[in-house]
Amino acid sequence: MGNLTKNFSIEELTVTNSGLPNVPDDKAKEKLLYLATYILQPIRDKFGVVVVNSGFRSGSVNSAIGGVATSQHCFGEAADIDVPGVNVGMVFAWCKANLKFGQCIDESANDKKWLHISLPRLGGMNQQSMTMREGKYELA
């Protein structure tokens, strides 16, 4: 499938360990291109390595992990990431100050920490920043 940007491939934005098919349609591929270009690549350029834990999710993958049907992941519009060696709070603060996004959520559960970030939503709430601790969301 190939590279979306100099540091991100479609393969790494569609990886799943669920064993289920996870193939985006053309519209989702286009959104993944935007996500990689305008969200993930700037984070990479600022902080270095970015590990995508969850990008695009097919309906079956999303259901298997308990995701909501309206998740931006299902449309190729969101990623859950980790930046090794960098505090999630620092990445969160930088994203809030420097990127245009739909949601940016500093998340943690079960002793794991990650950042959820999504493309801006047409006709929806944008620049929505939150924290999530063990399933409880708060505006940040």
Residues of the domain holding 95 = 26-139
Which tokens hold the place of 75? 């449309």
Q: What's 76's domain CATH number?
A: 3.30.1380.10
Task: Determine, yes or no, domain membership for 113.
Answer: yes
Q: What is the pLDDT of residues 101-124, one digit of tens each?
A: 999 999 999 999 999 999 999 888
pTM of the predicted protein model:
0.94
Cα–Cα nearest to 2, from 38, 32, 47: 32
Task: Determine, yes or no, domain membership for 104.
Answer: yes
Cα–Cα nearest to 22, from 12, 31, 34, 30: 12
Asked whether the predicted pLDDT for residue 73 surpasses 90, the reply is yes
Range 66-95 average pLDDT? 96
Task: Determine, yes or no, domain membership for 64.
Answer: yes
Cα–Cα nearest to 44, from 1, 76, 2, 12: 12
- Rounded to whole angstroms, the Cα distance separating 8 from 96 reads 21
Domain count, the chain: 1
Q: How confident is the model at residue 1 (pLDDT cuts 50, 70, 90)?
A: low
Task: Determine, yes or no, domain membership for 65.
Answer: yes
Task: Determine, yes or no, domain membership for 5.
Answer: no
Cα 109 to chain center, whole Å? 16
Task: Determine, yes or no, domain membership for 109.
Answer: yes
Task: Determine, yes or no, domain membership for 3.
Answer: no
Residue 107: per-residue pLDDT: 95
Q: What is the pLDDT of residues 22-57, one digit of tens each?
A: 999 999 999 999 999 999 999 999 999 999 999 999
